[in-house]
Amino acid sequence: MSDKDFHTRYGVTPREVEDALEENRRRVARRLSEWGYAWAVDEIMCDVAVELLKGGLRRWASYEERKPLGAFVNTLIGNRLGEWMRTERPKYRSGMTHAPLRRRKRKDTTPQREALDATEARRRIRNENNAALADRLCEEADVFGDPDSTVLSAPAGDKSSYQEWLTGGTQPLELESDKYAADMEGLRQDVTTRCKRMAWEMLIRQCLTATRGSDALRNDIRRFLENHHHGLGPSIDDYPYILAVVDKYRK
């Protein structure tokens, strides 16, 4: 299948799929290293890639309000990690009671901890997912990405930033999203110039909820802030999910 055919079928290019997998690899490596199974990173990533090709991408492409592909891959990885710890880690594999040797490859110097019990691993996965819904809009690494990357990271990934922007106070702790405070002020001015002040409050409050519609709204806001950060002069007229919230409060 050509790249063009691939894009026509799934709405993304093969390179975008590779990038989505790669941006999640660090999280998999961190978790498995903490659990004592760092050698299994490639296995998990290959399983998720196969799942994408066997139906995951079609399912993702069918969503009307779909999350970024990287976030969808993150969900698949969480499910696969839980399944792997429950049924496929070495304890359950016939004739295999230790990690396989990796010959003629660069030695992984990541410190290994004692292998984590499968029940405890699943508990940690659940806790991380629950924390993401209750306390954070997403993991900081999902939003701000690799600090060594040349790509501008998307802003406003943590809930406390939205709470701070709602109240207009001064954050007691320095957050990565502080650098986008001026960009958020630009969005506030765009909204309040056209709409009543209540529109701004409702916009931010909507961002503090954990729903699929709010995910789409936060993505719109991230794109607005990123473009504003680049000096592109964005307008809320180009962001349908922002407009859907504030239009009812037009002056």
Query: Is 50 exceeded by the pLDDT of residue 232?
Result: yes
Q: Determine the average pLDDT of the residues in 23-30.
A: 83
At residue 161, the pLDDT reads 53
Per residue in 147-177, pLDDT tens? 443 333 334 444 445 555 555 544 444 555 5
Dihedral, CA of residue 157, residue 26, residue 74 and residue 211, to nearest 10: -10
pLDDT by residue (tens digit) across 111-148?
445 555 666 666 666 666 555 444 333 333 333 333 44
Name which of 52-61, 62-71, 125-134, 217-226 the model is least confident about: 125-134
Could you tell me which residue, 161 or 42, shows the higher pLDDT?
A: 42
* Tokens, residue 240: 């349908």
- Domain regions of the chain by residue span: 3-102+113-134, 159-249
pLDDT of residue 205: 78
Integer Cα distance of 25 and 11 in angstroms: 22
More confident residue, 151 or 31: 31
Q: What is the pLDDT of residue 90?
A: 56
Tell me what pLDDT residue 63 has.
76
Are the beta carbons of 166 and 205 closer than 8 angstroms?
yes
Least reliable range by pLDDT among 107-111, 178-182, 246-250: 107-111
Mean pLDDT (the chain) is: 69
- Give which of 83, 98, 23, 8 is closest to 51, Cα–Cα: 83
How much is the pLDDT for 163?
52
For residue 150, what pLDDT is reported? 37
Residue 44 has pLDDT above 70, yes or no: yes
Residue 104 has pLDDT above 60, yes or no: no
Residues recorded for the chain: 251
CB 228 within 8 A of CB 186: yes
Angle between helices 69-87 and 118-134 (to 10 degrees): 150
- Chain centroid to CA 145: how far? 9
Supply angle C-alpha 10, 222, 170, rounded to 5: 160
Percent above pLDDT 70 for the chain: 59
Q: For residue 199, give both structure tokens.
A: 């529109």
Q: pTM of this prediction?
A: 0.39
Q: What is the mean pLDDT of residues 205-234?
A: 77
Pick the more confident residue, 138 or 107.
Answer: 107
C-alpha dist (Å) from residue 88 to 40, 95, 168: 11, 13, 50
73 has pLDDT over 80: yes
- Residue 7: CB partners within 8 Å, gap ≥ 6? 13
Helix (H, G, I), strand (E, B) or coil at 242: helix
Q: What residues contact 153, with CB distance under 8 A and at least 6 apart?
A: 143, 144, 145, 176
For residue 27, the tally of other CB atoms under 10 A from its CB is 17
Structure tokens at 110: 């990541």
**Which pLDDT belongs to residue 158?**
45
Over residues 99-122, the mean pLDDT reads 52
Q: What are the residues facing 195 on neighbouring strands?
A: 250
